[in-house]
Amino acid sequence: MEKYWQRWLFYLDVLVLVIFAVATVYMAKDAFWAGYYRAFGSSHINEYGNALWHLARDVAFQVAAIGWIIYRLFRCQFLLLRKP
């Protein structure tokens, strides 16, 4: 039964890494567009606001993914140290 859960957690870890990578790419894109629209001032204020909201969305996904990665890292390290 433990091997079954290890397999599913491995797939979940790979999925979380993919989510982190995709969020990083989108964060770079949205940060670029936020700076681009900010450079033009008030004529593009709506696009600037939308780009900032998209940037906040990307950061939220990254924080969740990093939280999971760090939890799994320390949990696996703890389990390895517990074994005799």
Q: pLDDT tens for residues 23-40?
A: 999 999 999 988 888 887
Q: Is the pLDDT of residue 71 over 90?
A: yes
Q: Please tell me the distance from the alpha carbon of residue 58 to that of residue 11, in angstroms, as a whole number.
A: 22
Helix (H, G, I), strand (E, B) or coil at 83: coil
Q: Is the pLDDT of residue 67 over 90?
A: yes
Structure confidence at residue 3 (pLDDT): 80
Neighbours of 58 (CB within 10 A): 20
Retrieve residue 56's tokens: 């906040």
- Which phi and psi (to 5°) does residue 83 adopt? -70, 140
- For the chain, the domain total comes to 1
Q: Please tell me the distance from the alpha carbon of residue 58 to that of residue 74, in angstroms, as a whole number.
A: 24
Domain region containing 31: 2-82
Q: Is the pLDDT of residue 15 over 90?
A: yes
- pLDDT tens for 36-46 read 888 877 677 78
Q: Name the strand (E) or helix (H) holding 42.
A: none
